[in-house]
């Protein structure tokens, strides 16, 4: 899986959107404006979708913190127990299973076997 910078993607889409808006204003014939309007709407849809993805990520970060706090060591009278996993390791494991769950869910929606 490759990670990309959300802000960079948004900036590129915004740039394309502004170019399309300028082209639409400059278009002389109505026939030229129709496909431009469709492309403008598509850029707006992509930007909206990116906002949805950000919400999912924020939810994941909150859940990771909540679960990590459950893993804190407890003193059972024999001294403080030692946690055997670093936060970064926990984070990577949790993200792996989160992404696996998304992939399985997507396959199930498409009717494929997991």
- Average pLDDT over the chain, rounded to whole? 76
pLDDT at 12: 93
Q: What is the pLDDT of residues 14-39, one digit of tens each?
A: 999 999 988 888 887 778 888 888 89
User: Is residue 9 within 8 Å of residue 47, measured between CB atoms?
Assistant: no
Task: Kindly state the average pLDDT of the residues 72-94.
Answer: 65
The model's pTM: 0.45
Which range is least confidently modeled, 32-41, 43-52, 72-81? 72-81
What pLDDT is stored for residue 14 in this prediction? 93
13-17, 34-38, 61-65, 88-92 — which one is most confidently predicted on average? 13-17
Mean pLDDT, rounded, for 44-72: 72
pLDDT of amino acid 18: 92
Higher local confidence (pLDDT), 108 or 1: 108
Between 77-81, 90-94, 106-110, the lowest mean confidence (pLDDT) is in 77-81
**Dihedral, 52, 57, 58, 60 alpha carbons, nearest 10:** 130
């Amino acid at each position: 899986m490759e990670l990309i910078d959300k802000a960079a993607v948004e900036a590129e889409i915004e740039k394309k959107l502004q170019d399309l808006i300028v082209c639409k204003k400059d278009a002389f014939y109505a026939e030229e404006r129709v496909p431009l309007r469709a492309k403008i709407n598509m850029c707006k849809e992509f930007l909206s979708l990116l906002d949805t993805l950000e919400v999912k990520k924020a939810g994941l970060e909150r859940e990771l913190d909540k679960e990590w706090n459950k893993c804190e060591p407890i003193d059972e009278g024999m001294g403080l127990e030692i946690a055997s996993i670093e936060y970064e390791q926990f984070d990577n494991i949790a993200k792996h299973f989160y992404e696996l769950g998304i992939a399985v869910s997507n396959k199930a929606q498409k009717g494929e076997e997991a």
